[in-house]
């Protein structure tokens, strides 16, 4: 652990390590996963920081575009989520990011960790 917080999750039999402090990085089997564009990485980071909470699409839009979203923002969030599911699950259906109205949730982090972080 290089001085940052790292967490491990298992999704569809694949173990993922998430480095949360410093630059967001995800590895699987020692290989760094390309998380995509900065906006897509922001979506993942925000969901991780709010694990076990449903994060509304509107809240993600506010976070990604800092209050000045394009007309296509909601569709862009859907694409970011879809792409993150693909890269985190190697193309199989992912169970890490769930759709829950009115948005999305990551539910694998223990609640005690979230209490400690906040």
Residue 81: what pLDDT? 96
- Asked if 104 contacts 49 with a C-beta cutoff of 8 angstroms, the reply is no
pLDDT in tens, 84-116: 999 988 755 567 899 999 999 988 755 545 444
- Asked if 105 contacts 55 with a C-beta cutoff of 8 angstroms, the reply is yes
How far is the CA of 92 from the CAs of 19, 70, 75, in angstroms?
Answer: 23, 30, 22
Mutual angle of helices 57-65 and 38-49, in 10-degree steps: 130
Question: 99: which 2 tokens?
Answer: 């759709």
DSSP designation for 94: P
Report how far residue 69's alpha carbon sits from residue 110's, in angstroms, rounded to the nearest whole number. Answer: 32
Residue 114: what pLDDT? 47
Average pLDDT value for residue range 49-75: 95
Least confident of 17-21, 47-51, 81-85: 17-21
Residue 1: what pLDDT? 39
The SS3 assignment for 96 reads coil
Domains annotated on the chain, with CATH:
36-117 (1.10.10.10)
Report how far residue 41's alpha carbon sits from residue 43's, in angstroms, rounded to the nearest whole number. Answer: 5
The yes-or-no verdict on residue 47 having pLDDT over 50 is yes
Question: Band of the pLDDT at 8, cuts 50, 70, 90?
Answer: confident
Top mean pLDDT of 18-27, 37-46, 99-108 is at 37-46
């Amino acid at each position: 652990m290089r001085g940052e917080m790292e967490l491990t999750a298992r999704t569809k039999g694949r173990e993922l390590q998430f480095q949360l402090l410093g630059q967001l990085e995800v590895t699987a089997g020692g290989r760094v996963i390309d998380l995509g564009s900065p906006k897509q990485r922001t979506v993942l980071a925000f969901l991780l920081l709010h694990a076990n909470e449903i994060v509304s699409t509107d809240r993600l839009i506010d976070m990604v575009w800092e209050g000045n979203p394009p007309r296509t923002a909601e569709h862009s969030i859907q694409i970011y989520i879809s792409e993150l599911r693909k890269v985190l699950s190697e193309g199989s259906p992912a169970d890490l990011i769930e759709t829950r109205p009115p948005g999305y949730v990551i539910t694998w982090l223990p609640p005690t960790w979230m209490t400690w972080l906040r």
